[in-house]
Structure formats: structure tokens, C-alpha cells
């Protein structure tokens, strides 16, 4: 295998990392006031307490943001190594476009889930982002297996 570093494909991954951090701040910005409104005192929370213990007491829109943040910690774990593989092996231009497609779709998915959250549209965004992952996987396999 001839390594041909292509750092351009790292940009969509860096943007998705930054977006994930924005979503983390959004979780904090919505969750803390909701805790206060629900009378949840974090200073007296029992050891091992989790958000799931109070989730049912939170407004749906607060949960929507939290659920999306969790989603950004799940499926993109496939995206990041694919991008690393493609960066190391010299991603073709088409793979870079698929990576940007994935990132854009995940951001749209986040906004939709956090603000509107109708399942049919959210599911279509999820499916479309998976198409991007399959394409990236194809390129990673092609680049590594020859």
C-alpha cells in the first residue's frame, strides 16, 4: 500500500466534532434550567444517579436535545475511523464529498431532532447519513484492500 495523506477529508470530521461540542453546550443550556424548574438539586443527587432517573420529569424539548447529543456519541464513531483511514490512504475527491454529506446530514438531523422532532423526517435524515457511511466504507475498503 502506498500512503498518500489527504488531510482535506479531516475537515468534515473536525466540523462534526465542533458541532458535537455545540450540542453538548445546548444540552447544558436546556438541562440546567429544566433541573431547576423540576426541583432537581444536583448537590444532593444520590451516588450513581443518571439523567435517566429524572428524564420523565423533563420537558420533551430538553430530552430531544439530550437524545441528539447521545446520537452524536454513537453512530459517528463509525465515521471518525473511516475518515482517518481515508486521510492516511489518500481519499479520492468523491470520498471527501461523501464525508461532507455525512457531516451536513448529521447537523441537519441534530437541528431537526432538537427543534421539530417529527420521526419520518428525522428517520430520512438518518437513512441518508447512512448512505454516506456506506459510501465512505466502500472507499476505505477500496483504498486498503486494493
Is it the case that residue 47 has pLDDT exceeding 80? Answer: yes
How far apart CA 134 and CA 47 sit, in angstroms, is 41
pLDDT at position 49? 85
> Domain of 27?
7-145
Any idea what the CATH number is for the domain that residue 30 is in?
A: 1.20.120
- Residue 31 lies inside a defined structural domain of this protein: yes
- Residue 2 lies inside a defined structural domain of this protein: no
Contact, 104 vs 50, CB < 8 A? no
Domain count, the chain: 1
More confident residue, 46 or 81: 81
pLDDT at position 95? 98
Q: Read off the pLDDT band of 2 (50, 70, 90).
A: low
- Residue 103 lies inside a defined structural domain of this protein: yes
For the entire predicted model, the pTM comes to: 0.93
How far apart CA 85 and CA 82 sit, in angstroms, is 5
- Residue 64 lies inside a defined structural domain of this protein: yes
- Residue 77 lies inside a defined structural domain of this protein: yes
What is the per-residue pLDDT across 8-44, written as a single tens digit (0 to 9) for each? 999 999 999 999 999 999 999 999 999 999 998 888 8
- Identify the CA nearest to 69 among candidates 99, 102, 29: 29
- Residue 66 lies inside a defined structural domain of this protein: yes
Phi, psi of 135 (to 5 degrees): -65, -45
- Residue 25 lies inside a defined structural domain of this protein: yes
How far apart CA 11 and CA 30 sit, in angstroms, is 29
Judged by phi (left if over 0) then psi (alpha if -120 to 50, else beta), residue 117 lies in left
Is it the case that residue 1 has pLDDT exceeding 60? Answer: no
- Identify the CA nearest to 130 among candidates 87, 94, 78, 64: 78
- Residue 1 lies inside a defined structural domain of this protein: no
What is the per-residue pLDDT across 76-128, written as a single tens digit (0 to 9) for each? 999 999 999 999 999 999 999 999 999 999 999 999 999 999 999 999 999 99
Amino acid at each position: 500500500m502506498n500512503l498518500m495523506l489527504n488531510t482535506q477529508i479531516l475537515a468534515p470530521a473536525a466540523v462534526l466534532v465542533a458541532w458535537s461540542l455545540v450540542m453538548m453546550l445546548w444540552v447544558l443550556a436546556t438541562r440546567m434550567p429544566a433541573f431547576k424548574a423540576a426541583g432537581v438539586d444536583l448537590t444532593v443527587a444520590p451516588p450513581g444517579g443518571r439523567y435517566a432517573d429524572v428524564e420523565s420529569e423533563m420537558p420533551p424539548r430538553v430530552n430531544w436535545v439530550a437524545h441528539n447529543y447521545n446520537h452524536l456519541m454513537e453512530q459517528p464513531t463509525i465515521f471518525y475511523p473511516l475518515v482517518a483511514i481515508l486521510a492516511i490512504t489518500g481519499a479520492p475527491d468523491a470520498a471527501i464529498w461523501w464525508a461532507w454529506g455525512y457531516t451536513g446530514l448529521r447537523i441537519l438531523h441534530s437541528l431537526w431532532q432538537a427543534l421539530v422532532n417529527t420521526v419520518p423526517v428525522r428517520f430520512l435524515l438518518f437513512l441518508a447519513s447512512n448512505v454516506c457511511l456506506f459510501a465512505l466504507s466502500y472507499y476505505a475498503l477500496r483504498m486498503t484492500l486494493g
